């Protein structure tokens, strides 16, 4: 099976992002395939940092890695507070949370497939 060029690019970008997050000790890394579900990107990655300092550091290093390796300037929001940083790399949207903030918003639940009982309630 041959994938489209932009799919290969988003897959390569995803691999680079996951590697960067792992290197920087991000915790509970979850990747969600968004292809065919939304136009905002091909993938969403959600992870946690242990402190506001680590969340900001993970985010800064990730944005720099994407710029160095792909020539893309990632849009970043929330780095000042360090509770929840959103990094938009174009094809991959990354959310870096402090654990308490991640638990509060439960972003994964919005994008993961629903079971039968949840679909009946909506």
Q: Which helix (H) or strand (E) holds 48?
A: strand 43-48
Residue 28 belongs to a domain: no
Alpha carbon distance 118, 104 (integer Å)? 19
Residue 119 belongs to a domain: no
For residue 75, the enclosing domain spans: 45-89+97-108
Residue 77 belongs to a domain: yes
User: How many CA atoms are closer than 13 Å to the CA of 3, on its beta-carbon side?
Assistant: 9
Give pLDDT, residue 111: 76
Q: Tell me, what CATH number does 55's domain have?
A: 3.30.460.10
Domain total of the chain: 1
Residue 79 belongs to a domain: yes
pTM over the 0.75 mark: yes
Residue 75 belongs to a domain: yes
What are the tens digits of pLDDT across the range 18-75?
999 999 999 999 999 999 888 889 999 999 999 999 999 999 999 999 999 999 899 9
């Amino acid at each position: 099976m041959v994938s489209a060029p932009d799919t290969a690019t988003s897959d390569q970008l995803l691999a680079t992002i996951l590697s960067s997050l792992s290197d920087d000790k991000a915790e509970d890394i979850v990747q969600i395939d968004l292809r065919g579900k939304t136009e905002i990107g091909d993938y969403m990655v959600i992870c946690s940092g242990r402190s506001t300092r680590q969340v900001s550091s993970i985010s800064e290093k990730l944005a720099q890695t994407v710029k160095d390796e792909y020539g893309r300037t990632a849009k970043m929001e929330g780095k000042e507070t360090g509770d929840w940083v959103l990094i938009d790399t174009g094809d991959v949207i990354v959310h870096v949370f402090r654990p308490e903030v991640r638990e509060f918003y439960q972003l994964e639940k919005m994008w993961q497939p629903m079971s039968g009982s949840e679909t009946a309630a909506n």
